[in-house]
Chains A and B, each alone.
Chain A
Amino acid sequence: MDSSPKIGVFLCTCGHMMNDYFDTRALLASAAKEPGVSSVDEGGFLCTKSGLEWLKIKIARSGCERVVIAGCSPHQHELKFRQAIEEAGLNRSLMTIANLREGCVWVCRDKKECLPKAERMLKAAIHRVALAKPVDMVQARMSSSALIIGAGESGVRIALELHRLGIQPLVIDSQPRPEGEREAFLPTPCTLLGTGGSGSGQDIGGQRHDFSALLKELSHKKIELLTSTEVREVAGGVGAFRVVLDTQGRERLVEVGSIVVASGSRLEDGANLAKLGSYSRIVSLGRLQKMIEAEPERLERMMITAERRAKHVCFILGGPRGEKSLLAPFVKRASIMALNQAILLRRRFKAEVAIVASDIIVCGAGLEDLYRLARQSGVLFFRTPESRPPQVSLEKGVIKIRVYDSALADCIRESASGEDDGGYPVLIQADLLALEDEVLPSLGTETLQSILRVDLAGISSFYQGNIHLKPNLSNRRGVFVVGSCHGVEDGGEMLSDIRSVAMAVFSLLSRPNLAVEQKVVINTDKCALCLTCIRTCPHRAIEFGEVKAGQKWGARVIPQACQGCGICAGECPAKAIEMVQYSDDQIFSELTL
């Protein structure tokens, strides 16, 4: 057939190393017999600069339209070779690499096996490249703007950071006014260390301003903030998301380059307290923090009695009966909160403070110091074995906590005969008991996820189990998560998180146009509109719409969002989707044995 494209086969012998393994001329002679092969050649160092030049000249001289390179693994120099054939005037996908080095000569124990295997591999590559189709390059517009969902501390802060980098942020919140509490009192280890004990959560070393100052900065920089606004619909892909916003019934369409979810979390104190019956002197850490920050009179009433004697306060970390529940994952957050509050109560009210825990997490900046400070301030620590959690009971208005301390057991072993397993018994009487809260995603998070079409997994709802999405990426390119909505546990970590997400958003959107390969094509004539691809695409890179202006409807690929996995092509029941570089015929061509 005359119309079949001319194929050039270039063998790179890796510095003539391959000559030791087989007769390269015999290999090329057999390759030359394959249909379509117009020229064969051999070089020593195709991957070097001069080698690539040699390749380009050879392609031009031989007039071949497709190229097979037989040499090392495609993971070594594929990019270089694709660039070279592009410079030689061919489409970048009209090339196949036969992995003769890592896949053949270095594999065969017996040198006699090399030639037949190499011939087979080269033949497969020639057949494969004969079926290759050119890949189209598409220019995707990247809008340098971002939608930030959630006007809590993390949302407002990332808006400010993005603005600093030159990205236009738009902040929305479902609540009527921005909520500083969205991060649900993310504690910082520096809360106390920096200020010597005010502990108000404000102005720590000049770094954490209070929330209203952040809002002021937002309006000063003319960053738009829409309250009582929810996301209704998200279409498009990275660089050009089309988002329908709903502000109390009024809809508005915005186009943004990126979406940052900063929906925060909330503390739920019900679960732990309910187990003990409601009693005003048993509170959650979150409630106590609120009192410390906003209700000083109430706190004083609780802490100072008529006799002005020191009060006994006890903190229990990990649930009152030590159950392993949702609470356990946030033990670091609870540790920091309890340590902060314990030091504060000790300093301000000279209270007798005890912290009962089986584990205290101190891994993090300044945490070991915070723990030491607590010890030095006279806070008592009781470490309970996990097998024997503390028991809480209410007796005539007094809270009694029975604890089995494993460290004490060691010291008092001789006197405590019979207490063989699980610690020495201690009875703590407390006037105030603080328990760990449950950390939950903000209300409405689930709906938001289904609208954004990002995956729901794990404990904190935006948390991703897949390592390649760690820590701030979502399955949808251009959608990021930040702050406590993906499980950040302390304030310092949150600030870190915000800056690194800001960087990721900026490097994604810094170029106004992005050239991307159209890796997947959909044959609209075959498309039966079954929506299977739209459901199965892990990156939400396929949408349903007009395929040609004013014409047929069908599935279409958003090229800049597509990552080329081919899952849609594998799933399409009508075989309407084809990967440009991995068509069925190409895969079949490699199976000739």
Chain B
Amino acid sequence: MDFTPAIVAFCCENSAYRAADTAGARQEGYPSNISICRLPCSGKLEVIHILKAFEEGADGVFVFACHPDSCRFLLGNVRAGKRIEHTAALLEKIGIEKERLRFFYLSELEWTQFLDLVRQGNESIKSLGPSPIKVKP
């Protein structure tokens, strides 16, 4: 059976959210199973938000932050990066592959990169199969 993963993409509203908008407006199409969650800054993203996404049945979580030195709030992106590292370690401990959590730098103009990243990301999550949380023992 063809498996369609559920993916949550946390996007900073200053960069990746705009990039996703542009990608949409260009009508190039990207996997519709990616749900975008808008954040004021990637620095707002907390560990619990990512864990909750997995708990709610996400097979993958992508986090998009602004490039280093271009965060409108200085170091929000760096903070996000550190939290992702920490969360990845937590996921490993509870038996979720850390590859299900991906972190990318993206600017508002890089809409083609956004398309590439979500398409490739979708494929890689697909190859991982459903999240272990969803698979009943």
Contacts and interface: CB of A to CB of B under 8 A. Distances in A.
Given A103-B21, A588-B52, A593-B57, 18 more contacts: A73-B21, A74-B13, A74-B38, A75-B18, A104-B32, A107-B23, A113-B32, A455-B74, A475-B74, A539-B73, A563-B73, A565-B43, A565-B73, A567-B44, A587-B39, A591-B52, A591-B56, A593-B35
- Chain A CB within 10 A, most for which of B17, B40, B71: B40
- Chain B CB within 10 A, most for which of A99, A101, A113, A587: A587
Nearest to A101: B24
Contacts of B75: 538, 567
B17 A75 contact: yes
A581 B23 CA distance: 26
30 contacts: A99-B21, A99-B36, A102-B24, A103-B20, A106-B25, A107-B23, A107-B30, A108-B32, A117-B32, A120-B35, A121-B35, A466-B74, A468-B71, A475-B74, A536-B79, A563-B72, A565-B43, A565-B72, A566-B39, A567-B41, A567-B79, A570-B44, A582-B39, A584-B46, A587-B39, A587-B52, A588-B56, A590-B35, A591-B52, A593-B35
B127 interface: no
Interface in A50-101: 73-75, 99, 101
Interface in B61-79: 69-76, 79
B1 to A, nearest CB: 17
Interface residues of A, number: 47
A444 B122 CA distance: 53
Contacts of B27: 106
B35 A566 contact: no
B86 interface: no
A591 B53 contact: yes
B56 A592 contact: yes
B29 A108 contact: yes
Contacts of A213: none
A582 B48 CA distance: 14
Nearest to B72: A468
Contact of B73 (A567, A587, A592): A567
A591 B73 contact: no
A582 B35 CA distance: 17
Given A102-B24, A565-B41, A582-B39, A570 B79 contact: yes
Interface of A: 73-75, 99, 101-104, 106-110, 113-114, 117, 120-121, 124, 455, 465-469, 475, 536, 538-539, 563-567, 569-571, 579, 581-582, 584, 587-588, 590-593
B43 A588 contact: no
Nearest to A587: B49
A17 to B, nearest CB: 12
Contacts of B88: none
Interface in B1-27: 6, 8, 13, 17-18, 20-21, 23-25, 27
A465 B24 contact: no
B112 to A, nearest CB: 15
Contact of B29 (A107, A468, A579, A590): A107
B125 interface: no
A592 B128 CA distance: 21
A103 B19 CA distance: 11
A569 B44 contact: yes
Given A74-B38, A107-B29, A565 B44 contact: yes
A469 B83 CA distance: 25
A149 to B, nearest CB: 22
A106 B74 CA distance: 33
Contacts of A124: 35
A433 to B, nearest CB: 39
Contacts, number: 121
B90 interface: no
B108 to A, nearest CB: 10
Contacts of A74: 13, 38
A159 to B, nearest CB: 29
A570 B45 contact: yes
Given A74-B38, A103-B20, A582 B44 contact: yes
A347 B58 CA distance: 77
Contacts of A593: 6, 8, 35, 56-58
A592 B30 CA distance: 20
B89 interface: no
A591 B38 contact: no
Contacts of A581: 40
A271 B38 CA distance: 52
Contacts of B58: 591, 593
Contact of B74 (A121, A538, A587, A590): A538
A566 B70 contact: no
A268 B25 CA distance: 55
B37 interface: yes
Contacts of B74: 455, 466, 469, 475, 538
A108 B56 CA distance: 23
A529 B63 CA distance: 31
A121 B73 CA distance: 28
A565 B24 contact: no
A469 B72 CA distance: 8
A483 B41 CA distance: 31
Nearest to A110: B32
Contact of A584 (B43, B48, B57): B48
A475 B75 CA distance: 11
A577 to B, nearest CB: 11
Contact of B41 (A102, A108, A466, A566): A566
A271 to B, nearest CB: 29
Given A75-B21, A593-B8, A593-B57, A567 B29 contact: no
A591 B58 CA distance: 8
A565 B76 contact: yes
Contacts of B56: 588, 591-593
A541 to B, nearest CB: 11
B16 to A, nearest CB: 12
Nearest to B27: A106
B86 to A, nearest CB: 12
A582 B40 contact: yes
